[in-house]
Structure 1
Amino acid sequence: MTNEEKQLYYVNLNPISMDAISPVRVNDGQLIEYEIEATLDEKKELEHLLHETQAHDVELGNLISFRHFDDEIGDADKNEYQRGLGTIFDELYRLGTEETKAKIKEIHLINDEDVGQDEPGL
């Protein structure tokens, strides 16, 4: 496979394995998998984005330190995590198969103004 060829991958947003993008469907009824078509570079970029977002989620869950008593730090972490998730869903939509795009639209995780930018005729 060359760097420019697209391949099917499956992405789940399970917090434990969020940054794992698999060429094989997991078929676990508990997970929502998003099917995407991506080049190796696009896959690496998405993995990096998933890893960065997951890192902010881990910071939010850091209950051992006293950081969680600082509202400003907690709010900044929450905002970064939410911004990261928004960017992830934008990328999942951009790279997604028709099924994935429909799934994301159905659960309203894409901004309607953004949808027309990627699809001809909208």
Structure 2
Amino acid sequence: MEKQLYYVNLNPISMEDISPTPVNDGQLIEYEIEATLTEKKALEDLLSEVQAHDLELGNLFTFRHFDDEQVDTDRNEYQRGLNDVYEALYRLGTPKTKAQIKEIHMVNDDAYPLDNKTERDTPL
């Protein structure tokens, strides 16, 4: 399957939107990825799942927010999902996207040792 260029922003309101055209909004950080239709669908599903969990955390009409242990569990689960999103963006990302994600330290350097070597050996 042929890969196409897509743009992803992590705006909490429209996180699952993956667009073939850039938004060009200076307020948003947009990540470029190259993905097949199958990879794009998998990323959309992951984004939707993380966004749905984020909305659950924002539900103020329950008393769960008084339970510190439950709140910590929810936050950790959301953070794991967000980490998965950044790992997927890094894996599918263009060199520019990979540099952006490494800059904010949202990828496990040990998971991509060849990228580290390549980036150290290649001047920017």
* RMSD value, Cα: 1.5
Is the contact between residue 8 and residue 30 of structure 2 (CA under 8 Å) also seen in structure 1?
Answer: yes
Counterpart pick for 1:90 among 73, 87, 92: 87
* 1:69 paired to 2:89: no
**CA positional deviation for 1:77:** 1.4
The aligned counterpart of 1:101 is 98
Matched-pair contact (CA < 8 Å) for 2:109–2:116: no
Q: Structure 1 residue 48 and structure 2 residue 41: aligned?
A: no
Aligned residues: 118
Report the TM-score, using the length of structure 2 for normalisation: 0.89
Unpaired segments ≥5 residues, structure 2: 119-124
Secondary structure (helix, strand or coil) at the match of 2:32 reads strand
Q: Please give the alpha-carbon distance, in whole angstroms, between the structure 2 residues aligned to 1:120 and 1:105.
A: 10
Give the counterpart letter for 1:42 in structure 2: E
Unaligned 5+ segments in structure 1 are none
State the Cα distance separating 1:115 from its structure 2 match: 2.0
Provide the secondary structure at the position in 2 that maps to 1:29: coil
Query: 7, 11, 14: which one pairs with 2:11?
Result: 14
Query: Take 2:13 and 2:24, find their aligned partners in 1: how far apart are those partners?
Result: 17
Q: Which moved more, 1:5-14 or 1:61-70?
A: 61-70
Give the Å deviation of 1:120: 9.1
Of all paired residues, the percent bearing the same amino acid is: 69
Residue 28 of structure 1 corresponds to which residue in structure 2? 25
* Contact 2:33–2:93 (8 Å) recurs in 1: yes
Secondary structure class of the residue paired with 1:16: coil
